[in-house]
Amino acid sequence: MTTLAQADVDAIAARHPAVFAGSRRKQMTGWLVGLGVVAYLCFAWWFFAIGSVLANGNWGIAGVYLADWVSYETRPRIEFGDEGLEIRYPRFSAYNRDRHPDWVELEDVRSPGVAGRIAMTIGDGSVDIAPGEVIARRGSETVTIAISPEETVSAAGPLPSWAEQDARDGSITISFGFRGSVEVEADEVKVRQRFWGWENFVFDANSPFWGKSFGEVVSLVFSDERIKPEMSNAALAWNNILNNAEWQHGDVWLKLGQTIVMAFVGTVFASLLAFPLAFAAARNITRNVVVNQVAKRLFDFLRSVDMLIWALFFTRAFGPGPLAGISAIFFTDTGTFGKLYSEALENIDDRQREGIKSVGAAPVLVQRYGVVPQVLPIFISQSLYFWESNTRSATIIGAVGAGGIGLKLWEAMRTNSDWENVAYMVLLILAVVFVFDNVSNFLRKRLTGQAVR
């Protein structure tokens, strides 16, 4: 940037003192405001004890929660039993003693789920489990672990960097990075392997369609041989999708529908009620100060009693569900729309009204032809704008008990183990908000004939 020599700056400043004095003061104000903000943020740091809370946060678990959004773990457990190696899976897993994932290989099978030797591929490595011995490979390194049953775990030779033993003869944890880990204990081996994606997203493990490729499912759906005699295959497939035990598609969609309905009905009713009330509140339409003030204070009241309070109130009155959400949005937005509408009415062009009045029209007709055509596009475009933003609000007030996807989302988060379901619902919400945003933008552009922001 071209800069002036200091002498020139001084000369100019001397010639126009007023200009520079003003800007000095402005500069000082800027610095003072900045200092004030910094001081306030320091106060807030102390007030909320931000430093200690952040330091005490359970950040290790945060990584696992985030990984759960987009991936899932399969957790077989191998016990050193009397008959051999017994492999078990968590209770709600898709696998059981007769059904094993393809990365687990049972050799020398003695009875279902009991084998003499188990080989597993985990990420870029592998684990071989035999009674009394576990051999883990990762890349070119190998570690052999000897186990004396129920007593000690010990590695032959030094441990590689990816294996860790907490105490002498204690359990050894072998890490495969993001892909998983193997914990070797004296009486069992716990394996965790992580895979990208969502497990059993379409069909759960109890469905006859589980584990089949897309082509197989399609041909099954269209085949005449019924899997269950009481319903067609297509109906069965649909039913299985809706009642997927882990993802609960049917319930999630129903709750999403409730949230959409809450926002839609609440916004429409609020617009319908605010429309006549705004005419009463606008001082150029209703020439009665008392009526104006009463209507305006009513709007302020409805708006200032927070949506949260209305939501809690109506949840008590109607019970949890969309009716409470609809009422909360309706009450808050009647106030907001009333205020916005009456402001729009107070800014109308009076000449159209005068024109209609001059030809002797009745008062109602004056409003109909002199006022409404001017303000209707503004009204509708404001309602559309809030429709989209209310969809977001409806999600939040749902969580305090007004029903809809917010409550479901909140329940999924409270368990701390269903973060993949949270991700699924968030994606649905984002999609709905995105679609509504675009529809409302498109309609508003059509209505006002220009880009309204």
Among positions 254-293, residues that touch another protein (CB under 8 A) are 254, 257-258, 261-262, 264-265, 268
**Residues in CB range of 427: below 8 A, 6 or more apart:** none
| Binding status of residue 48 toward another protein by CB under 8 A | yes
Site residues (CB under 8 A) for another protein, limited to 121-180: none
- Give the residue with the Cβ less far from another protein, 113 or 338: 338
Distances in Å between the Cα of 159 and the Cα atoms of 137, 141, 174, 298, 414 are 12, 10, 10, 74, 39
Shortest approach of another protein to residue 93 CB, angstroms? 23
Give the Cα separation of 147 and 144 in Å (integer): 10
Shortest approach of another protein to residue 20 CB, angstroms? 16
Shortest approach of another protein to residue 428 CB, angstroms? 10
- Pick from 31, 46, 178, 434 the residue near another protein by CB under 8 A: 434
- Give the residue with the Cβ less far from another protein, 100 or 303: 303
- Give the residue with the Cβ less far from another protein, 210 or 264: 264
Site residues (CB under 8 A) for another protein, limited to 298-327: 300, 304-309, 312-313, 316-324, 326
Other CB atoms within 10 Å distance of the CB of residue 118: 25
- Give the residue with the Cβ less far from another protein, 86 or 388: 388
Shortest approach of another protein to residue 400 CB, angstroms? 5
Give the Cα separation of 277 and 120 in Å (integer): 71
Shortest approach of another protein to residue 66 CB, angstroms? 8
- Give the residue with the Cβ less far from another protein, 305 or 372: 305
- Helix, strand, or coil here: 388? helix
Shortest approach of another protein to residue 249 CB, angstroms? 16
- Give the residue with the Cβ less far from another protein, 163 or 324: 324
| Binding status of residue 5 toward another protein by CB under 8 A | no
- Give the residue with the Cβ less far from another protein, 85 or 399: 399
- Give the residue with the Cβ less far from another protein, 76 or 406: 406
Shortest approach of another protein to residue 293 CB, angstroms? 15
Site residues (CB under 8 A) for another protein, limited to 400-419: 400, 403, 406, 409-410, 413-414, 416
- Give the residue with the Cβ less far from another protein, 173 or 389: 389
Shortest approach of another protein to residue 407 CB, angstroms? 10
Tokens encoding 7: 């002498």
* # chain residues binding another protein, by CB under 8 A: 76
Give the Cα separation of 367 and 41 in Å (integer): 52
**Per-position DSSP letters for 7-45, written without gaps between them:** HHHHHHHHH-HHHHHHHHHHHHHHHHHHHHHHHHHHHHH
What's the residue count for the chain? 453
CA contacts within 13 A on the Cβ side of 354: 4
- Pick from 72, 80, 247, 385 the residue near another protein by CB under 8 A: 385
Shortest approach of another protein to residue 184 CB, angstroms? 30
End-to-end alpha-carbon separation of the chain, Å? 36
b (16+ CB within 10 A) / e for 367-381? beebbeeebebbbeb
- Give the residue with the Cβ less far from another protein, 119 or 268: 268
- Helix, strand, or coil here: 126? strand
- Give the residue with the Cβ less far from another protein, 318 or 369: 318
Please, which contacts does 314-319 make with residues 24 or more away whose CB atoms are closer than 8 Å?
314/402, 315/400, 315/401, 315/402
User: CA dihedral defined by 103, 104, 107, 113, rounded to 10 degrees?
Assistant: -150
| Binding status of residue 227 toward another protein by CB under 8 A | no
Q: Which residues pair with 78 in a beta bridge?
A: 87, 189
- Pick from 142, 173, 286, 389 the residue near another protein by CB under 8 A: 389
- Give the residue with the Cβ less far from another protein, 121 or 389: 389
Site residues (CB under 8 A) for another protein, limited to 14-43: 37, 40-41
Distances in Å between the Cα of 375 and the Cα atoms of 98, 116, 234, 343, 369 are 70, 81, 51, 10, 11
- Residue 297's region, left for phi above 0, alpha for psi from -120 to 50, else beta, is alpha
Distances in Å between the Cα of 393 and the Cα atoms of 195, 329, 333, 427 are 34, 8, 11, 16
| Binding status of residue 387 toward another protein by CB under 8 A | no
Site residues (CB under 8 A) for another protein, limited to 338-357: 339-340, 343, 347
Give the Cα separation of 407 and 321 in Å (integer): 9
CA contacts within 13 A on the Cβ side of 39: 6
| Binding status of residue 91 toward another protein by CB under 8 A | no
Shortest approach of another protein to residue 188 CB, angstroms? 29
Shortest approach of another protein to residue 282 CB, angstroms? 15
